[in-house]
Amino acid sequence: DVVMTQSPLSLPVTLGQPASISCRSTQGLVYSDGNTYLNWFQQRPGQSPRRLIYKVSNRDSGVPDRFSGSGSGTDFTLKISRVEAEDVGVYYCMQGTHWPWTFGQGTKVEIK
């Protein structure tokens, strides 16, 4: 299985400051159709996961533009330009290229 490794696992951030989460995969994530199925999910406390970013850098409808995704190959990043209180939660990267689809361990974002 493809292993997804996130860092850091805990990310205390000051309100209004930027945050960055790294995600590395053990195999390249380009599928035969040319797409890279690397997605980011946010799980707020007590809620189900919500997709923020799909195929590396495409922001879902309703997701604030302070969230951005980038990367290629085996190395990907989720950035929050200015953290707000509502961003507290756990963030997961997930690959949908090689079955079984797999998730990173999660990065817990909290406010300092």
Nearest Cα to Cα of residue 4 among 21, 22, 25: 25
Question: Which is closer to other proteins, CB of 74 or CB of 105?
Answer: 105
Looking at residues 43 to 62 of the shown chain, list those that interact with other proteins (rule: CB under 8 A): 47-51, 54-55, 60
In which residue are the tokens 């409808």 written?
61
Name residue 24's amino acid. R
- Give the interface size with other proteins as a residue count (CB under 8 A): 22
Nearest Cα to Cα of residue 23 among 64, 74, 89: 74
Looking at residues 67 to 96 of the shown chain, list those that interact with other proteins (rule: CB under 8 A): 92, 94, 96
End-to-end CA distance of the chain: 35
Q: Is 28 in the site for other proteins (CB under 8 A)?
A: no
What residues line the site for other proteins (CB under 8 A)? Answer: 31, 37, 39, 47-51, 54-55, 60, 92, 94, 96-97, 99-103, 105-106
